[in-house]
Structure 1
Amino acid sequence: MRAKNRGYENLLLVLLFFTVGSVFFDRLSINFLFPFMREDFALTNSRIGMVTSALALTWAVSGVLLGAYADQSNRRKPVLIATVIVFSLCSFFSGLAGTFAALVMARALMGLAEGPILPVSQSLMAFASSESRRGFNMGFIQASAVGLLGAVLAPAVIVPLASTHGWRFAFYCAGIPGLVLAILLAMYIREPAVDEKREFAPLMAQREMPFTRVLMSRNIVICIIMSCLFITWFLAIAAFGPAYLIERRHFSPAQMSIFMTVLGISSVIAGFAVPALSDRIGRKPTLIAFSAVAVCAPLVIGYFQGTFVILCVAIFVAYLGYGCSAIFIATIPAESVPRYFIGRTVATVIGTGEVLGGFISPMFAGFSADKFGPAAPFVIAAASAALAVFASCFLRETAPRKDRLVVPVPTVASDPAVG
């Protein structure tokens, strides 16, 4: 039975890796296409921020609402499949947009579809994960997937397609993988079975516990703060980096693609290595160290001088800080609340971060870039990461102790972080 469970755990890990990765392939593709779209939509930095913010706002709302519905109704699989199909179709709609308003609407609809995918995926993974691999699994399907498909493959595939066939054709191609994945999810994913949940009967008895009580725990409050700060950091780099490299640092489209690919390779490695490290040395020290590393990444893009090769090496090292994101977005919340609340808690951590860090901060960064200079978003990003270092110092440790492999899922009575 253990081998069977481990086999499903690995299968789920691979499928959710590509599912979450395809979400961010679609979401981040537009950032590499902004230079090609600038003339058609008269894109200013403010308008780029508005497009990014529209998706983030609807992402946040649907993530919380549909994430809660999936948990409460135990219908994670149909919610996941339906949203994967819809966001794939929305990529086609982005390619059909003829006006700036239509483009904003297409991205807002995509955000509605994509919002619940990450929290639902992390909830499924939490049920299927062995305790000793929880940090690795949750980091792998989030940070590594985003890095490989969103930051490595997206520029490597999308930029050449846009250069040769136009940005609209690139959007059409970006929607295809999700439709294939929806079929695979329907074939192989299963809901957490009733007999699996019986192992957590004491926790299921807490279904009537107010969710607000869960959210007021110290760890969850800090994770929400860090989510806001790191999404600000992430989107400032993703939304403004490609255009800045071409227009201000005078990279060719090919150089920009290589640079962003190197950044993506760094995030792939950090995405599984940093959470795996936290399984061994603890969540808190890992977050403090790699949040500090993350401060350097936007400064490399905005200010660091050197040859192209040196810049690529510098961004590879600095972007390793991205690997800590899955720890405060998913792993610590999963270890700090009863499993019944994992999906909703992760969705709330992400959703709040998307509203403040994803909706408000890109517009603020865009306006700042137009008023104070194009490097302003990177100053904002560096300051956000620095604040995340400070916030992480107040976390309570949740990782398994080295002398035991299993950490009991906390209850209201036993968890000092709740109540």
Structure 2
Amino acid sequence: MFQAPKGTRDIVPPESHRWQRLVAVFAEVVGRAGYGLVQSPMFEDIGVFQRLGEGTEVVRKEMYDFFDKGDRHLALRPEGTASVVRAYNQHRPTVPWKVWYLTPCFRYEEPQAGRFRQHHQVGVEAIGSADPDLDVEVIALQHDFYRALGLSRLSLRLNSMGGPGDRQAYAERLGGWLGRRLGDLDEADRANADAYPLRVLDSKRERTVAVVADAPLITDHLSDDAAAHFARVQAGLAALGIACEIAPRLVRGLDYYTHSTWEFAAGALASAQNAVGGGGRYDGLAESLGGKPAPGVGFGAGIERILLAADAEGALGGASGSVAVFVVDVTGGDAGRDLTFELRRNGISADRAFDARSMKAQMKVADRSGAQLALLVGEEELATGIVTARHLRSGGGQTALARDDVVREVAALLADR
């Protein structure tokens, strides 16, 4: 029997109901700010993702890439931003282009808690404005999304990578400093010290973390424009009541970030794996993908990791039933069929049993469905034009409903629950 590949899993009901609620909350929060859904192919020309940076683990080791039957070198999407920026370049929409996405991401890495070789993200991108207030808007949307899910034990770490010139100058300074401490670094990080020094800051290895605690800080080497941008972002977050910790060694894992970078961590999770999403500004990415210069900012948030945090905090609720009403018909099925569709067409979620099963068997299915009400149709109900409503979650009391007025009466019963 075939199994899902290593590092992947099936999301099936009732767990998938929580995914639906999470995505619905996300769409509602960002939709109020004018962000519309964008869907792009899950594979692209590999060059789109190579712009993430040759020094990143994603590009060097983790991408799922292949040649198709036309000998085109393609790769499965490892993250959400690059594809959206490619789509922006291709379609040239009115700016600022404010969009959100829901996507699977693919990385060949060792599976861990909340992170799989196929994991899933929601995110937003805002392209076409360099205004630091747009950074504030995007960070605040991510913050408000988590709050809307019921997460409270969150912390925000914020940094600035400065402009492209600041970043390059800092990388050179950091590389020289790391070169003098090369023997103190973890052996696995030494190869990055010269070619990709910012990657060393991103290391979680204990020896390296201890060394870089004394490394030069990029926030001490920002241009005046970059410092003003960073100050405006901090002031905006403070005005909105969003607390943050300045984290001058936060670089995240991708090379396209400029100016603001940030990460949200869930205090309810173990510190080594507590990031639930982050983002940053990427003012040079559109140009690097062949388009005209277009500043942008966005974030991505991993669904699996968010649900782990929700479980740890008791937020979002557990898996729930998919319908409000379950129809039990032991008169042949016609009444159950018609009643089920009448309820659905009037906005009430409903299901029924099939295969002419017994009353006892159908009631077991009704109970497992998670429905609030079971509507029973037996020979007596059929003859007298009524439906018996049984309360499945509150003591099992019963109420006789007129068949001709069943939709209104069921709606009233559900409203009282």
TM, length-normalised to structure 1: 0.23
Question: Would you tell me which structure has more helix in proportion to its own residues?
Answer: 1
TM, length-normalised to structure 2: 0.23
**Which is higher, the Rg of structure 1 or of structure 2?**
2
